[in-house]
Chain A
Amino acid sequence: MTPVPVEHILFLSTALFFIGMYGLFTRRNLISMLMSVELILNSVNINFVVFNKYFHAGKLDGVFFTIFIITIAAAEAAVALAIIINLFRSHQSIDVEDAAELKEPPTPKGEYGVM
């Protein structure tokens, strides 16, 4: 059995990364956005593992990082879900467009005194 060339795996991880990126920018639903972020994280995980396996076989650094990232992703998912539940309670929606309170309100002209 011939080994899978490294380029193939890198192609997979890059594809996964940009799919996640696309989802993050286009989806308005917060749950979908969270899932997209998970995709991005997993593409990074694949990168770590493949570089460890192909170029530094015998070492475990890349595997450690992967385990860290999985742990952090789990924690992040828990926090994000909590935020989403709270957002739903206050806005009755989990659409990201509905939560725009941080937007700068329009200022009337001449407010700064020197204009």
Chain B
Amino acid sequence: MWIYAGRRVIQGIITVWFIATATFVAMHSVPGDPLLSDKAMTAEIRANLAAKYGLDKPVFPDQYMTYIGNMLQGDFGISFTQQNREVNDIIREHFPVSAALGILAVLFAALGGILWGALTALYRNKLPDIIIMFLVILGISVPSFVFAALGQLGLVGLNSWAGQTVLPVAGWGTVSHMLVPALVLGLSTMAFLTRLMRSSMLEIVNSDFVRTAKAKGLPPTRIFLKHQLRNAVLPVITVLGPAIAAITTGGFVVELVFAIPGLGRYFVEAVQQSDYTVIMGTTVFYGAFLVFMVILVDLVYGLIDPRVSVE
């Protein structure tokens, strides 16, 4: 177990290094250079600025080594477009917002997916199954930005119907700001998990141990909770890692539409403004986060399901 965990972590570190290098190479192949700004500057000022930021040194190995070295110390540099603002500060300030939204969305998606999936399997080919599976197909086929737009329209409608602000339409601050964005963010993942849970539950419903439990005369709720649900949930846990990745990147759109000051929206803005240090820092940070999330989920899965040997 520990050997396996160690190997996965080392692999993860190499992947993050790969991400950092690829981002570095990609950013340096962008046409133009960082000192190209609207303001005209003399050659001396240019040279001084280049010297200050180390841009006069060769890209490889000097700039690359500095970049990796700084990164190892947790320093992603300073923003290009916002003077004197460190990328670290930006991440520290905006990531908690994205994380809070993401956690709530994962929670919505996981609980909803498990519940709906179990329901559809229990009522196979009956009305609840048909309705839920229709919604699932809708959830998988409609892009997240459309859901975000509809969610916002719905909020506007709700508020004007109630004559007061029931839930705020956009912004950030309280739990009520989070509810609808998190639901929208988790929706497609919820649909995906529902489908997975349904097929896994259908397999369990027909398995021998469930028949045995029934034959023993156990009450149906006990069979459902103790035997069926517990076993059917396992495959859902394996995809939680990629699901977290999907929700994190899906956050870009939701944060943009609902005006939430999260890291995702910041990343999109940095991309639109060509703020290279912020793009690099955020990409490496997000990349590392996602890589280790997947590893964590895999390891947790090994702990939960004794049948899986992780060696």
Do A and B assemble together? no
